[in-house]
């Protein structure tokens, strides 16, 4: 989908050729002018058919004096970014099956950068369709979104950032949605390599079973030993800043299918365990956006990718393995595999002397029970890092909620047969999983995002959400010490001379 900006002028909007014109109207919006659109709005208001509550739609066809075939008046409440998001989602959903290729979307006069970003993300989300494994794909109808804003120049940076974010979200959705047989560890590694190819300052290295064995990743290898599909350890690097700047490391759980292994899962809804690489997909998505935006930042992405299947060679409950850190682990439940692949990736992260490490994982059903699909679970050993991630989540409308890490929660992980067990009891399952990971994250500031409830939707709307790409990207860009570079400037190693630096950073 393409985006562009046009001026917010009702006379011009009426003349603008498009398949549909959506006007977002905040509370008290008046149709003051004498132009065709204002007249139409005033009439709708006078007759009581206009409702400015966020998301309320009034659709009309062939309005006198308006070039666009369809006109949608959509309420956007107080005009905040959150209400704009809701309104745009409703409008684009209402037009989803209509033959609308080019949509003009007029934001309220007061909308700032945050409103532009909210509108772009909501429109992309509501019009997204998955097609990859369809034999007769029906591609997305919406091709062009023209945003009408009060100040076109002041909105350019926000649009560039939002458009990159959309590309990241859609790459994450694509890979998470793909079935397990179309998204093997090998496929994921190829996707990561393709992503980095030809992008300045970005590279990708892929380790296979031999290299992983050499590194001593016994926990990761134990999960992968029940399948014929070879594991992959993907290392993505984006070096947008000076070497001296410590990188942020993102670690994404990449279980391309989680059957549970010998501790096998029930059959109902097991198909959804193809989404168990959503953390990995979010890392790919963030790198996609970094490739677009070229911020002055160093970022490492680590993806331990494998299947969790039961066979004659599979790891068994009670087996003890040695992790890369040297700690031994008693695998009491082979379905608690995410923490096993992540713990070795966390140890690997030490070599980058990171500023912070954030792991992203569909780790526990318990987190889904605790927080549902609204907020991801956030665990962190650092108050500052937790704050930064929470703030990024609020700004990006990609929410998380901090959970506790008291040492008492680790009691259940004690065992007589190894340094640690991979599961505790049923109580506080999301927290005990985080406590397990924390044992491997002692050498840096660390945060863990449990996205089990937020990475995909079940039921009729089954599909990946692309979360938490907006949260992660916002966090990273907020920590960038200088303005983003343009692709060109980054290639020459020079910072861009931004005309209005910092103006659009807050979004």
The entry of Zn ion, Mn ion, ligand BES, none that residue 368 binds, CB within 5 to 8 Å by partner kind: ligand BES
Contact 57, 72 (CB under 8 A): yes
User: Which residue among 229, 258, 292, 307 contacts Zn ion (CB under 5 A)?
Assistant: 258
- Look-up of token digits 């003009």: 104
Residue showing tokens 């692709």: 487
Q: Is 17 helix (H, G, I), strand (E, B) or coil?
A: coil
- Taking CB under 6 A as the rule, which mask of x and - marks residues 431-470 in contact with ligand BES? ---------------------x------------------
d(CA 193, CA 165): 20
Stretch that binds Mn ion, among 71-79, 310-318, 330-338, 375-383 (CB under 5 A): 330-338
What is the torsional sign of CA 317, 334, 215, 382?
A: negative
Secondary structure class of 18 (helix, strand, coil)? coil
Tokens of 244: 């001296």
Task: Tell whether residue 168 is a contact of Zn ion (CB under 5 A).
Answer: no
Among 125, 174, 258, 359, binds Mn ion (CB under 5 A): 258
- Does residue 335 bind ligand BES (CB under 6 A)? yes
Contact status: 307 vs Mn ion (CB under 5 A): no
Place of tokens 């929410």: 399
**Nearest Cα to 20, choosing from 72, 63, 55, 74?**
72
Cα–Cα distance between 82 and 114 in angstroms, integer?
9
What x/- string results for residues 237 through 256 when contact with Zn ion is judged by CB under 5 A? ------------------x-
Q: Is 35 in the site for Zn ion (CB under 5 A)?
A: no
Residues 29-48 that bind ligand BES (CB under 6 A): none
450 binds Mn ion (CB under 5 A): no
Q: Is 339 a catalytic residue?
A: yes
For Zn ion, which residue of 35, 276, 344, 445 counts as binding (CB under 5 A)? 276
Pick from 360, 361, 383: nearest CA to 445? 383
Binding mask 336-375 for ligand BES (x = CB under 6 A): xxx-----------------------xxxxx-x-------
CB of 275 to Zn ion, least distance (A): 9
Residues pairing with 248 in the sheet: 299, 356
**Of 275 and 348, which has the nearer Cβ to Zn ion?**
275
Helical packing angle, 469-479 and 383-395, nearest 10°: 120
Which residues contact ligand BES (rule: CB under 6 A)?
258, 276, 333, 335-338, 362-366, 368, 423, 429, 452
């Amino acid at each position: 989908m393409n985006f562009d900006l046009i001026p917010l002028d009702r006379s011009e909007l009426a003349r603008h050729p498009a398949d549909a014109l959506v006007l977002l109207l905040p509370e008290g919006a008046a149709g003051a002018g004498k132009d065709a659109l204002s007249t139409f709005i005033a009439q709708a208001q006078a007759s009581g058919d206009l409702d400015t509550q966020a998301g309320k739609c009034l659709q009309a066809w062939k309005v006198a004096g308006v070039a666009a075939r369809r006109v949608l008046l959509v309420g956007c409440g107080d005009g905040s970014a959150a209400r704009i998001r809701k309104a745009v989602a409703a409008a684009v959903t209402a037009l989803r099956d209509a033959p609308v290729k080019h949509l003009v979307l007029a934001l309220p006069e007061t909308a700032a950068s945050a409103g532009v970003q909210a509108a772009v993300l909501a429109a992309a989300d509501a019009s997204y369709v998955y097609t990859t494994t369809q034999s007769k794909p029906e591609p997305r109808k919406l091709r062009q979104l023209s945003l009408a804003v009060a100040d076109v120049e002041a909105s350019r940076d926000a649009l560039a950032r939002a458009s990159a974010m959309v590309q990241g979200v859609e790459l994450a959705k694509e890979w998470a949605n793909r079935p397990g047989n179309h998204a093997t560890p090998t496929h994921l590694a190829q996707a990561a390599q393709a992503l980095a190819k030809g992008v300045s300052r970005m590279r990708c290295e892929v380790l296979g079973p031999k290299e992983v064995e050499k590194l001593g990743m016994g926990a990761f290898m134990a999960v992968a030993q029940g399948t014929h599909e070879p594991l992959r350890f993907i290392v993505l690097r984006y070096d947008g800043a000076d070497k001296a700047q410590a990188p942020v490391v993102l670690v994404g759980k990449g279980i391309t299918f989680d059957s549970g292994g010998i501790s096998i899962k029930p059959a109902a809804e097991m198909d959804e365990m193809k989404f168990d690489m959503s953390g990995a997909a979010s890392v790919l998505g963030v790198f996609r956006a970094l490739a677009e935006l070229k911020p002055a930042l160093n970022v490492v992405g680590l993806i331990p990718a494998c299947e969790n299947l039961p066979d004659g060679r599979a790891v068994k409950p009670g087996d003890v393995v040695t992790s890369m850190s040297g700690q031994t682990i008693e695998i009491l439940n082979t379905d608690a595999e995410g923490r096993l692949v992540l713990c070795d990736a966390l140890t690997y992260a030490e070599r980058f002397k990171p500023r912070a490490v954030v792991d992203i994982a569909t780790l526990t059903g318990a987190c889904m029970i605790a927080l549902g699909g609204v907020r991801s679970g956030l665990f962190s050993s650092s108050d500052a890092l937790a704050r930064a991630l929470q703030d990024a989540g609020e700004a990006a409308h990609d929410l998380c909620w901090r959970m506790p890490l008291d040492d008492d929660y680790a009691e259940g992980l004690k065992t007589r047969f190894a340094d640690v067990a991979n599961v505790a009891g049923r109580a506080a399952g999301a927290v005990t999983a985080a406590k397990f990971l924390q044992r491997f994250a002692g050498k840096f500031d660390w945060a863990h995002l449990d996205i089990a409830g937020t990475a995909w939707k079940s039921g009729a709307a089954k599909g990946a959400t692309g979360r938490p790409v907006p949260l992660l990207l916002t966090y990273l860009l907020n920590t960038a010490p200088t303005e983003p570079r343009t692709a060109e400037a980054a290639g020459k190693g020079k910072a861009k001379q931004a005309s209005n630096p910092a103006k659009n950073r807050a979004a």
